Amino acid sequence: MNKPTPCMVWLPADHRLLGDHGHQMPFLLLGDKYARAVKVGADCQPVMFPLADAGQIPDLLPLVDGVMLTGSPSNVHPAHFDEDVADPSLPLDPVRDELTLALIKACVHEGVPLLGICRGFQEINVALGGTLHQRVHEVPGRMDHREPKGAPYDEQYAPRHAIRLAPGSVFEAWAGGPEVMVNSLHGQGINRLAPGLDAMAHAPDGQVEAVAVQGARTFAYAVQFHPEWRCWETPFYNAIFDAFGKACRQRRSLRLQAADLARAGT
């Protein structure tokens, strides 16, 4: 018996230089924890198009059933929201920006399931017209949302603070209540919310922690925290990926039906 074609989720690559100073080479990277969360939590196959550019989106997007925008050490270039770089020591990834900001708009337009995490959350806000705090910890009244650098990963990704979830939202349903604890590993965050987004969760200091794309035809959510970290161990995180996977399978079903109809018409 033939196995059903797996759902495929596109995870854009990071572009980074690795190696000793003066002997660095360019690499295309994807964090294991993101790919593993898609495979285990969403029950989908993570895929990469390592050298894809924005011009190829119309050809590549129809091949997949969802898109997940991962976190990254790099930040969205502030030129995309009309600001100068506040901290030149922090890494940027303009090649990723060029792809993902266009990919977000294509996903929303085409009804492709979309999940953004950390940098991906910030990319969605910027792509749809919002702005970012480049240093949340320097904003009056805001907490320091950064992880303890140098600590073991279990400590870095441990629950750090509660978030308050929008009443009646899918996030409240996934969490099983109006409030839930999450991890926190970010220096940047939403300043002005994009006009195409609704805030779905806030930290105790008012920082937006989750968003939904207004009027989306399918799953289109993003979170500032990191539910990919051992998502199968945390019911709230697992529920996010389970819902994303279901949306991707619905997309696959529609995609295969359209292909069958096209073949029947030839």
- Residues identified as active-site: 118, 226, 228
Closest CA to 117 of 62, 42, 51: 42
Whole-number Å distance between alpha carbons of 80 and 74: 14
Q: For 235, phi and psi rounded to 5 degrees?
A: -55, -40
Residue 210 forms beta bridges with which residues? Answer: 201, 223
Those residues whose C-beta lies under 8 Å from the C-beta of residue 25, and which sit 6 or more positions away, are 17, 18, 19
- DSSP letter, residue 225: S
Whole-number Å distance between alpha carbons of 100 and 254: 24
